[in-house]
């Protein structure tokens, strides 16, 4: 009886795993390269969208609480925050965490303290994130999360093109977050580097976008509801 149950469980889990896409070694290396999160703390992130009474910054923090613990065991993560300075301060860019292994607790603690205030020097922030990743010599991933446009004179398109030209293997993903949606100029940073652009309006969409851009999809799939259900069933003899 026990042997029959064990065999049935093995078949369930194997089938669930088999239904997930298998990544190439190159894809595995790419999605496990060091990554920097570039976090928008400009004043607009403190706003409350019409349909939801929770400020944008709170929803982003909630999404991070869900995704970062999933990703941190798989890759070294770092954090740059921009916009916490005075309203007219375009130099308010701060490195909060260098790429660090298994950094979920440290990273979430830093994100929890972010208080949105000022402007949006996103272009320079992405540039500094790439430099922190030693992008000229190593594969590097930058995930920019912003709810607005560059407001400090930077040129996202030209900068991304120049970074890509100098890079060993740089990918910039852009998550554009606002209730009305629409095109963000910073999208060209992902277009220029082969990254993803995700326009999101809800906390659920934020979670999905963060998983897609920060995580390893082939590993995430192995944590799919079907796989979890199979493992749960096998834990109940």
CA–CA separation, 85 and 27 (whole Å): 38
In the beta sheet, which residues pair with residue 36?
Answer: 78, 142
Mean pLDDT of 29-37: 81
Rounded-to-integer distance, Cα 55 and Cα 209, Å: 19
What whole-number distance in Å separates Cα of residue 142 and Cα of residue 172?
5
- For position 64, what pLDDT does the model report? 96
Rounded Cα–Cα distance for residues 75 and 34 (Å)? 6
Query: Bigger pLDDT: 34 or 12?
Result: 34
Interacting residues of 24 by C-beta distance below 8 A, sequence separation 6+? none
- What pLDDT was estimated at residue 30? 59
Say if residue 236's pLDDT is above 60: no
pLDDT in tens, 7-27: 555 454 445 444 444 444 444
| CB of 72 closer than 8 Å to CB of 34 | no
Q: What is the pLDDT of residue 220?
A: 46
Mean pLDDT score across all residues of the chain: 82
Q: What is the pTM of this model?
A: 0.79
User: Please, what's the b/e burial string for 26-46 (b: 16 or more CB within 10 A of its CB; e: otherwise)?
Assistant: eeeebbbbbbbbbbbbbbbbe
Residue 228 pLDDT class (50, 70, 90 cuts):
very low
**Residue 228 and residue 153: Cα distance in Å, rounded?**
48
Q: Given this model, what pLDDT does residue 204 score?
A: 93
Angle at 166 between CA 127 and CA 98, to 5 degrees: 40
Question: In the structure encoding, which two tokens stand for residue 147, read together?
Answer: 């709810």
More confident residue, 125 or 5: 125
Mean pLDDT of 143-163: 94
Task: Average the pLDDT over each of 46-60, 73-87, 106-120 and give the range with the smallest value.
Answer: 46-60
The stretch 115-119 carries a mean pLDDT of 89
Per residue in 40-73, pLDDT tens? 999 888 877 666 677 889 999 999 999 999 999 9
Tokens of 142: 């930058």
If one compares 148 and 155, the residue with the highest pLDDT of the two is: 155
Q: What is the pLDDT of residues 176-227, one digit of tens each?
A: 987 655 668 899 999 999 999 999 988 999 999 999 999 865 444 444 444 4
CA distance 213 to 225: 20
């Amino acid at each position: 009886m026990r042997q029959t149950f064990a065999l049935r469980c093995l078949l369930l889990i194997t089938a669930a795993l088999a239904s997930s896409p298998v990544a190439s070694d190159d894809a595995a290396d790419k999605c496990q390269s060091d990554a920097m999160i570039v976090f928008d703390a400009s004043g607009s992130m403190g706003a409350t969208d019409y349909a939801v009474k929770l400020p944008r910054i709170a929803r982003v923090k909630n999404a991070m609480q869900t995704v970062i613990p999933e990703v941190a065991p798989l890759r070294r993560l770092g954090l740059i925050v921009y916009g916490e300075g005075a309203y007219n301060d375009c130099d308010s860019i701060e490195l909060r965490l260098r790429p660090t292994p298994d950094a979920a607790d440290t990273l979430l603690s830093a994100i929890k303290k972010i208080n949105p205030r000022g402007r949006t020097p996103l272009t320079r922030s992405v540039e500094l994130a790439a430099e922190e990743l030693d992008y000229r010599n190593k594969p590097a991933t930058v995930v920019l999360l912003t709810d607005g446009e560059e407001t400090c004179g930077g040129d996202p398109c030209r900068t991304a093109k120049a970074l890509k030209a100098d890079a060993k293997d740089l990918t910039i993903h852009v998550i554009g977050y606002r209730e009305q949606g629409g095109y963000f100029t910073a999208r060209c940073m992902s277009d220029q580097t082969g990254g993803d652009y995700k326009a999101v309006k809800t906390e659920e969409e934020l979670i999905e976008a963060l998983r897609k851009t920060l995580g390893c999809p082939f590993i995430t799939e192995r944590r799919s509801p079907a796989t979890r259900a199979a493992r749960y069933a096998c834990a109940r003899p």
